[in-house]
Structure 1
Amino acid sequence: MTKCKKPTPYDPKLIAAQCNPVTLRLGCAAGCWKGENFDMCGKPPVAIRRWTRDDGYDDCELLPEEGVYGPACKLHANHDVVPLSEVLKAVADAGCWKRDPSLIPPLPGILPYDPMRIFALCDPTLLRLGCTTGVSRDGDYESCGKPVVAIRRWMRSDGPDCEDMPSPGWYGPVCKTHANHDVVPLAVILDVMTGGRR
């Protein structure tokens, strides 16, 4: 019988380093084919992921055994994504947390996302409730509840009770399985949570 290796805990310093605006502007760190070249994906990141040795686009021999951290777009956030609560805690511990709604400036370039709704959804109490996607269990709809890795904007047809949803869509925390479209980019979340002062 093979022994399962226990996953190592997430490293707050490495997470905080990947939340640097310069790093996020470089885009998703996944390796992918672009024509005949294998290069970095570069799409807007929606999460921080811990990569394994064979995930990188660079020389894999240079990656440490335990894996490296990097931003991932919604397409490449397919496993070992750091929960959003861990990301926000790492940013807070790094000393740039501004959890005061009055400090949120109008943030140019992030529309159509709503900064106040994003801010409200990043409350640790709400994040601990888990993914808000409606899933069918024994014929009844209830929330998914898996660990949250991103904030998504839902459409009217996405939830279990469509009648109660506002027309332009509503926001909710989601797990990696349900972060399949219209996920708020991580840079937008961090701008809102730090008051644009990183």
Structure 2
Amino acid sequence: MFAVLTGAGLSAAAGLNAYIPFLIVGLLARFTDVINLPGGWQWIESWWAIGLAALLLISELVLDKIPAVDSINDMMGSIVRPATGGLVAAATQSASALDHSSFLQDHEWIAFVGGLVVAGVVHAGKASARPAVNLGTAGFGAPIVSTAEDVSSLGLSLIAVFVPLLVIVALIVLGWALWKWSRRMRSFARRRRDAEHPA
């Protein structure tokens, strides 16, 4: 059960920022015994994978804070974020240090598909809310929202690994926050549009 919660939390974090949970899994697997990746997944803790993920994270941190560029970045993330969510879910759910379920270890594809779906849903919420944020704030909200997403991804990743039972609460809060923020920004954008073009 803990491995399922860890995978779900890491997948949701990947829906916000693909590279933060990937790096956390890779670094913890390389330098600690918290995560022991099985043979097929040990490439995640290799120096080349960690280095590439770090470079991609730096570019994501910059590009996602620029209005309009962030929407293009989200379009590219439509493939990367769900795929990364599936990867980290499958890798961590099959890691014996997190759970001793032979079923999960033998059926990694279930974790991959589940992670793909969770990350895809979170990414879709993020990507649909961002244009409303840009329109509603004339672009000034992009860096603030992006930073909040990065912090949320980091926090959710750490919770998923170290306190998996809190993943349920974190996912509920994340879902509520995305829904609330999206509604608020759409309403703000609608009012602004009506003020600029009165009937």
TM range, smaller chain: under 0.3
Q: Output the TM-score relative to the length of structure 1.
A: 0.25
Q: Output the TM-score relative to the length of structure 2.
A: 0.25
Higher strand proportion: 1
